[in-house]
Amino acid sequence: MRPIPAAPSPFLITASPRVRSHPARKSYAIPPMRKTSCIFWPSCSRGRARRDHTGLRFDPSRLFLVGHSCSAHMLAAILLDTPNTPSVKPTPELLRAVKGAIFSEGIYDIDLLLKSFPDYRDWFIANAFGDRPSYADVSVATLPHREGGAHIRYLIIHSKGDTLVDQLQSETMYSHLIHLDGGDTTHGRVVRNWEELGEEHNDILRGTEYVRIVGDFVIAVD
């Protein structure tokens, strides 16, 4: 069994091509995002001098976040409500600015993942979360919306060629987000794409189809 390759960090995109990278660990992914938020909302800068951002080439009130593989788990824990980890809670201003989130080849339910890939316990799960009988408490596929976060649109992507994370993970997260949205599948607040990609786990990020799928989602969000 091959281990999952190191996943790209969560990153932030806007309706323009500009991309900002962020650290890969959930526990310290939020401070840089708060810093970005403070740039756009000086009220949270705690007395620091305001900066002139009239030259920005994107709308800072319309942010889209992308999480791939393990980073999808991190990003979901930030955007959804994790009361036991207040350190990852985004500011209200930042949460309001996030209009959409894209999760690809994500890990959401670790117990379910270990049923499909039991070797992953020794590869990386035990090191990250401890060796214990259940990881239900760190599943993001059971988390409710954060207050002020129900407006966020979601795209769940999964490749048919991914042999490192099975589609059951994406199906589980998709079903959970649909449930949070009242079971409504007609307004496109939660959408999925499981048919158009056929590359391996990280290889999808090297192609143009992934970019097109993400771009189409961003454009479609009001």
| Sites in the chain below the pLDDT cut of 70 | 1-55, 185-186
With left for phi above 0 and alpha for psi between -120 and 50, is residue 47 left, alpha or beta?
A: left
Q: For position 222, what pLDDT does the model report? A: 76
Question: For position 85, what pLDDT does the model report?
Answer: 85
Q: Where are the domains of the chain?
A: 11-220
Q: What is the pLDDT of residues 80-127, one digit of tens each?
A: 998 888 888 999 999 999 999 999 999 999 999 999 999 999 999 999
CATH of domain 11-220: 3.40.50.1820
Confidence at residue 183, expressed as pLDDT on a 0 to 100 scale: 75
Q: Which DSSP letter does residue 8 get?
A: P
Give the pLDDT score at 54: 64
Sheet with 63-68: list strands edge to edge: 19-21, 11-13, 63-68, 98-104, 153-157, 190-193
Would you state the pLDDT for residue 71? Answer: 94
Written as one letter, the residue type at 137 is D
pLDDT at 53: 54
Q: β-strands 19-21, 153-157: how paired?
A: unpaired
pLDDT at 186: 66
Helices (H), the chain: 30-40, 70-79, 92-97, 110-116, 120, 126-129, 167-180, 208-220
